[in-house]
A and B are shown apart, each in its own frame.
Chain A
């Protein structure tokens, strides 16, 4: 009896084979003639394996069907038949039927597969039903042929005399070795007397052994051979290409009797060698439940590790050995966690492969022509995510074929390729996996979607105006939104797209959509690589801690209290941060998380409730702003901004505190707060407290950030800037600095190597020249007032700066008192002939006259004055 374990294994393997076969069949249909060889071989092997296994394990129905399929495949392989659409259809149906049989293997015989068999058998040409029915061929002992034995005693030397009736019915005598005969008998070889020419020996040896040649010689030069082989009697003639008349079977019993004293045969058993059994690298199938438990435990272990680390942090210095132990535990835990997570990963190919079939079937149903291209099938995803992705992807692809891609006639009329194309692409994108589904169909019309959304009451007409193109398209993801039937000039998509979105978001993913009317639609699904453990930035606000998944964090920005006014602006009513000429909408974490904001009092250092609403400091009165006790200028009022990346958009999240980056274990949200869009999950921190995991996209959408508005503003500014640029060369980063309080100087950043802060005490004066110790070297300093008509640095300045210009081979520092800013200049400094030597020109920057240094000229003067020897 075949054990249940073997059957289960067989079922799993058969499923795998059938899955591959389905893909291969689809591939075979698409590949050009001559290329399909390898694919056919693979399909053949898979079906063949199933046939062999099912027969052996006792599932005759499966065997019968797979055998019929195999026979058809054999025709392809032999080139007798062409794998056309119709035949592949039939084979696919066979695969489907086999699948359902395999799914319920023990009742497989009860499943009716007659129609499949009929169709398959119909393909087989009436004549060449090669192996029409399942082959049950087994080697069995054949009926004893006529023969007689000479019972004389064996001659000396181990030979025996064997006289039997030959193929030509005359008596033939052999003198074979007794040992050889008994060995042939024990190995259950078939023995024959074969009449043939003298030079037939070589042919015989190809298929077996020749134990003796007949003593008698025939007049025609032929003789008899005593032939021993494993070939079945009915195959011997074919194998040797001789006629049946030349062959005479010898009954083994006859031979046994001929051996009067049969010597014990030496068997093939070889001397015992004491070698360890070697294990081959193998895969085993593990219950997914078990894996899940393991993953959970690994998660707990990571938590435990974090807690342990935190508890021991304090004592680590008292016991030096502790550190290495912690490090080790750390390392092992991380590695283990990585491997365990790896176990659940499966290539996305597994779901891609199903889509080929889907597209094919849809095309047949809708009479459209669509080809599906897939790419990136090797990208791996957590098994549960992979399973969760099937429905959304099926849905999207169904929409693509049904609504997106036009009929062949329509396409031809538009000058498109008749055959529509859907591309299914998976790739890694910064810790996330991105799945892109692109069709080249009719695309969508944002305005029509907006119109529909307004009619359906999902959107106010005013709100509609503020939406970007992308936001407009994204309306189709709203629950209840439907463009089906009523709006005919839109592709009719949106049916159930909210379900797609919900499904994808359930495991932390995002969906976005792009569409160009007439050219097609792209839907992108982004999903976190893995669910269980993610690297996160821990931030704090109002005494609470939150985790932000690292993959959402673009950068961290600290805005010093005094810079707030310059860096934070307003677009409409929304605060925005100016970051390298990019405007980012700002959100306070307290607002997003529904906490009351607090601030730290600069003097008492107590945390007090914040009443101010404005982040930006718009006050113009410099006197008030300079007041020391003004908390807006205290370091506690510095603003920390975490720049977050959400599907193509950036925004800033204002937090109070920044902590470490930690590996956190994601725990799903409890049901009570599942609807809270700002949180993606929760985690337990090293100290045992719970921290919520922030969902960047959720925050952006619940804060109703208007990326479009901000982008428009940015575009407007860029346009302004480029207008300015028209009269200038290009933006030059320029360092603005001072030597004396009221005189502003400038130098292009490109001509500066470093900017160092030094203490005035560090300057050593030798003769009339100044030096400092700079990185262990003596660096001569240049005081600009010596060479230029500028005021000297005031004596009371304790902290000074040194500009180290970019001068090949020359080490030199320019002493300055204060660094003002680095600005991007789009206009060249105005030049005039009365500029003193060393000054390139002047410009008005921030309302102040600024002199630009001419570094080369300055150096020449410096050298002339004997500044450098």
Chain B
């Protein structure tokens, strides 16, 4: 059973995208959702609060998703943090680069609510659907 109290950090420079993901996460029953506009803000949040799961966009101003991923993987506390890259970059080399950087999984935009749920389920290794209703 997935702990729905886990705190999920949504990183995207597009506010509407964050809103959409947050809505979906709510529908899955996740209570603690943090948001960040870019990698730098996300890193700041990681330092200040508990984060159990990251869903991050790739291309963002300042510090992009890949930089964030590398930062997370190289840090002591968060090396194993589930990290879902949610990106419209769909080229082969992008995917390979992300996997090489030890992304937990990736999802290509545009995505459906179902595909997001599936990816999260995969990362969390959970069999039951995450949807609340």
Contact = CB atoms under 8 A, between A and B. Distances in A.
A280 B115 contact: no
Nearest to B57: A52
A235 B95 contact: yes
A275 B49 contact: yes
Interface in A177-195: 183, 186-189
A52 B99 contact: no
Interface string B41-65: 1000100111011000101110000
B9 to A, nearest CB: 10
A13 to B, nearest CB: 6
A272 B125 contact: no
A239 B96 contact: yes
Given A183-B125, A268-B82, A277-B34, A9 B15 contact: yes
A280 B35 contact: yes
B14 interface: yes
Contacts of B82: 268
B36 A51 contact: no
A137 B14 contact: no
Given A57-B20, A275-B7, A268 B123 contact: yes
Nearest to B17: A53
A280 B61 contact: no
A35 interface: no
Contact count band on B: 35 or more
The CB with the most chain B CB atoms within 10 A, among A3, A7, A49, A239, is that of A49
A2 B59 contact: no
Contacts of A238: 92, 96
B41 A277 contact: no
Contacts of A137: 90, 108
A138 interface: yes
A518 B60 CA distance: 49
A63 B20 CA distance: 17
B19 interface: yes
Interface residues of A, number: 56
A593 interface: no
Interface of A: 2-3, 5-7, 9-10, 12-13, 42, 44-45, 48-49, 51-57, 63, 130-131, 135-139, 183, 186-189, 206-208, 229-232, 235, 238-239, 265, 267-270, 272-273, 275, 277-278, 280, 282
A269 B124 contact: yes
A280 B36 contact: yes
Contacts of B36: 280
Contacts of B61: 42, 45
B20 A207 contact: no
A268 B53 CA distance: 9
B59 A280 contact: no
B6 interface: yes
Interface of B: 1-3, 5-7, 13-17, 19-20, 23, 31-36, 41, 45, 48-50, 52-53, 57, 59-61, 80, 82, 87-92, 95-96, 99-100, 103-111, 115, 118-119, 121-127
A2 B49 CA distance: 29
A245 to B, nearest CB: 19
A45 B49 contact: no
Contact of B100 (A10, A139, A206): A206
Given A45-B59, A53-B16, A278-B48, A207 B100 contact: yes
A189 B104 CA distance: 10
B126 to A, nearest CB: 6
B96 A10 contact: no
B125 A280 contact: no
Contact of B17 (A52, A235, A277): A52
A208 B14 CA distance: 31
A186 B61 CA distance: 34
Contacts of A138: 107-108, 111, 115
A270 B3 CA distance: 8
A786 to B, nearest CB: 81
A69 B20 CA distance: 24
A233 to B, nearest CB: 12
